[in-house]
Structure 1
Amino acid sequence: MTSALFVALLAFVSSLAFKAADGAVRYNLEVDNDAPITTGALGAVKARLVINNGTGTFTANPNLYQFHWTYSILNLVEKSEDEFHSWISVQSDIPGNYTVTVSVHHTDCWRCPSIAQNATVLQFTESVVGNILIAQADGNATFVNDSTNLATETVTKMSFVLHDPSSYLSTALFSYKWEFGDGNTFLTDVPEAEHIYTTAGSYTLKLRVGARLRGSQNMKIGYFSSYLQLFDPVKSIKVKGPTSTIVEQNLSLSIHVNGSPPLSLCWHMSSECVALSNQCSSLVNISTPHYSLDYQFNATGRKCLSLSVWNRVSMLQAYHAITVTHNSVLPLLFILPCAILLVIVIGFIASTMLRGTRPPKDMVEVADFDFSPMADKPTLLLDSDVNTVNTCCLHCFRQKDGLEEEQPLLWPRTRAVRQYTV
């Protein structure tokens, strides 16, 4: 009686000591499993103890602690510990959801309460477990499309990935029936198929998987489906509008995109053509394949409109060259009056110069023949009297009609020779 009381007292004191030691330490127990599991196969449940001592966090060595598992009516196949985990393998032939709990105790204090505990639900099902993967080619590369947004007129690759972590169905015979949602089906014994969707729209892909174990009549069947959204890829970008314009004049361009909306359009106007990315300052989201762009240039030169258009399945870039010049009408209205004024001034100057350099006209001697009777004629002058005859010179005065000419109109080039009166 006394010894039993002493053992109980020692256990109580040890419990208090461990509680005091654990006061500054925090424990966290993480539990996960690989469900869902096909009935008959093995399901694994793992637990990891994480310790935070105030200075850092680390994973505890499971060999230093005692993990206590509770797995209901499941069949325990194996229990083990590795460097970081304590885990068990269980099996069930009855489908259902089973709760598995685990608690952790100090190894040196088996009577002490658990320092951490947690639980998880393990699902067993009659059907085959797995999922569908869908991929399309992008140039020479093939990518897996998780969003189920696919391009038309492109080979779509579909595959079934079996979830069988314990390799329970490794020797089973499989059959696959693919229904692509557009009226076409495909039967095969391999988990892969290819199909081309020609029309944009929404489709539901369905797959029936059958697995027959060797030497058994038991057939496990699984049904899977995936919702697909098909889009026409952006195949072309056409820009309609003038390729030349003038400064400060509105330029209207019409952009037509051959691709399924919704579309994202990015444009950039500069002196050089540039490649645009998804991050764009001039980004427009359009719900139709048409877009109108109005723009005005402030400087002359050769310009380039860079375009990038994409939808959920593809992207395409295009360029449009534009030549910008000055307005030719306004300068002409200014130059034409100036040209007319310049012609008038030049003509006036030329006329003045020609008038000032014109040579003087020579005086023309006119013979004066008098056919009147001799009686009325004056006496013929002799040669000796010639010197007495007044000749016409620069200082001569001619009288006509009683008027005197002060300045002769014509300057004689040569001296007058003689004058005769007949």
Structure 2
Amino acid sequence: MAPALWPRLSRMLWLACLLPLAPARVAADLYELRLTADGPATTGAEVTITASLVADDNGSLVLPASTHLYRFHWLHTPLLLTGKTDEAFSSTIRAVGNTAGDFPVSVWVTTADCWMCQPVARSLFVLPITEFLVGNLLVTQNTSLPWPSSYLTKTVLKVSFLLHDPSNFFKAASFLYSWDFGDGTQMVTEDATVYYNYSIIGSFTVKVKVVAEWEQATLDAGKRIVQKTGDFSASLKLQETLQGIQVSGPTLIQTFQKMIVTLDFLGSPPLNVCWRLKPECLPLEEGECHPVSVDSTAYNLTHIFRDPGDYCFSIRAENAISKTHQYHKIQVWPSSIQPAVFAFPCATLITMMLAFIMYMTLRNAAHQKDMVEVADFDFSPMSDKNPEPPTGVRCCCQMCCGPFMLETPSEYLEVVRENHGLLPPLYKSVKTYTV
């Protein structure tokens, strides 16, 4: 009977081992493990690392109410563990690295009653350890600017070194700071904060060398001086605000003439320049025109007006720290000299008109010649041999040659008297004397 019970008992033990795995497999798809650390750290300083078990679907799930359901397992070699704290769904360790390097730290979570079972969640990250000081430079200015790393000239800058020491490892150390502002100015201070004023525009790199020094006890009950250093830097871009735009150019111009307007910017480049012609001097709205990049303090605008009228150049310029507007009014008059594009049609029209006039003149001259030839007719007394001329010819002859066709001299004289009443008589009376 004992041999018969043994297979049944082995199956029961096997099922008992599988039971803890069931919730673990389900939970493995529902939760994740998040790691946070206060590194990087310098050698000898203590580092704090925390692992937290959270729901994997943005918090819609809730963790079990039991506070002893899961166990956290850490792997941190070669870091030296100095402390560990476990809570309901998180675990925190403190470790020290005595050598420099990048050290992997891993952690996984299992059910509390089966640490050899499939993990509910796991995570891994790399902790950097360095031999040098850890920190950074912070540069601030009273003027609030929306552009990063951009600052104003002739305005005081505050430069501070911030030491990263969450474990208060350097509480007994004294510090010395050697500053280099990149414009030829250097100084040494014992304070981590300095104030400096750049007088010129340009790009600079401010550097600081930090030396930390303190006493440390030795194994033979003695003391020795320990020193750590670090080099830090920050890039700065010093600029001047745009005080305005000086516009040089004509205010009166004719159509179809090339106009050049010079813009002088009272500020530091690079600039984004935008301009547009408007009937009135109004500011430019965002997106109303396309900006042009300008790398100098001067820029030339060129334009040709095709229609007369009153116009206004609306100009906007901005650099990395400021912007400004300017306006330039101009009056456009009609041009006295038409452009070449209209010269050819006008010349063609005039030529056609002159050709038409000459044609009509020559035609009239030919017509008059025909009339003269008709007038050259035999005006001897009318007879059967010379029939009466046409009415038109007769009329012309009567007007032009009528006086010469009169039959008697008395008729001619009568006509002359009628037409020239003031003319003296053609003959004088002859006085007769009686003896």
What band does the TM-score fall into relative to the shorter chain? 0.5 to 0.7
Whole-angstrom CA distance in 1 between matches of 2:310 and 2:90: 69
In the alignment, is the contact (CA less than 8 A) between 1:133 and 1:144 conserved in 2?
no
Aligned residue in 1 for 2:36: 32
Say if 1:278 and 1:227 are closer, same or farther in 2 by CA, change over 3 A: farther
Whole-angstrom CA distance in 1 between matches of 2:169 and 2:12: 49
Aligned residue in 2 for 1:195: 196
Matches within 5 A, 1:83-162: 85-138=90-143, 141=144, 146=148, 148-162=149-163
In the alignment, is the contact (CA less than 8 A) between 1:245 and 1:322 conserved in 2?
no
Comparing 276-285 and 294-303, the one that deviates more: 294-303
Of 311, 325, 350, the match for 2:319: 311
Structure 1 runs (4+) greater than 6 angstroms displaced: 1-4, 298-301
1:282 is the counterpart of 2:283: no
Matches within 5 A, 1:201-216: 201-213=202-214
Of 58, 67, 71, the match for 1:66: 71
Whole-angstrom CA distance in 1 between matches of 2:257 and 2:285: 29
Aligned residue in 2 for 1:292: 300
Whole-angstrom CA distance in 2 between matches of 1:4 and 1:38: 57
Whole-angstrom CA distance in 1 between matches of 2:259 and 2:62: 68
Of 254, 257, 260, the match for 1:252: 260
Whole-angstrom CA distance in 2 between matches of 1:248 and 1:105: 85
Aligned residue in 2 for 1:262: 270
Q: One-letter code of the match for 1:153?
A: K
Aligned residue in 1 for 2:183: 182
Whole-angstrom CA distance in 1 between matches of 2:208 and 2:12: 65
Whole-angstrom CA distance in 2 between matches of 1:298 and 1:85: 77
Say if 1:16 and 1:197 are closer, same or farther in 2 by CA, change over 3 A: closer
The alignment's TM-score, normalised by the length of structure 2, stands at 0.63
In the TM superposition, residue 76 of structure 1 has moved relative to its aligned partner by: 2.1
Whole-angstrom CA distance in 2 between matches of 1:198 and 1:181: 12
1:224 is the counterpart of 2:225: no
Structure 2: stretches of 5+ with no match in the other structure = 217-223, 338-416, 419-435
Which of the two has greater helix per residue? 2
Whole-angstrom CA distance in 1 between matches of 2:104 and 2:138: 30
Whole-angstrom CA distance in 2 between matches of 1:88 and 1:144: 40
Aligned residue in 1 for 2:329: 322
SS in 2 for 1:218: strand
In the alignment, is the contact (CA less than 8 A) between 1:11 and 1:111 conserved in 2?
no
SS in 2 for 1:72: coil
Of 243, 253, 256, the match for 2:251: 243
| Residues 190-235 of structure 1: per-residue CA shift (max 9 Å, x gap) | 2112223334444332211122346772222211123444445544
The alignment's TM-score, normalised by the length of structure 1, stands at 0.65
Aligned residue in 2 for 1:79: 84
Whole-angstrom CA distance in 1 between matches of 2:248 and 2:131: 62
In the TM superposition, residue 11 of structure 1 has moved relative to its aligned partner by: 3.8
SS in 2 for 1:217: strand
Say if 1:274 and 1:34 are closer, same or farther in 2 by CA, change over 3 A: farther
In the TM superposition, residue 120 of structure 1 has moved relative to its aligned partner by: 1.4
Q: Percent identity?
A: 32
In the TM superposition, residue 14 of structure 1 has moved relative to its aligned partner by: 0.9
Whole-angstrom CA distance in 2 between matches of 1:59 and 1:47: 17
Matches within 5 A, 1:368-387: none
In the TM superposition, residue 255 of structure 1 has moved relative to its aligned partner by: 1.2
Whole-angstrom CA distance in 1 between matches of 2:288 and 2:52: 47
Whole-angstrom CA distance in 2 between matches of 1:92 and 1:40: 6
Measured on the aligned residues, the alpha-carbon RMSD in Å equals 3.9
Q: One-letter code of the match for 1:136?
A: Q
Comparing 42-51 and 127-136, the one that deviates more: 42-51
| Residues 63-103 of structure 1: per-residue CA shift (max 9 Å, x gap) | 44221111113232332345764322212333333221101
Of 43, 50, 59, the match for 1:46: 50
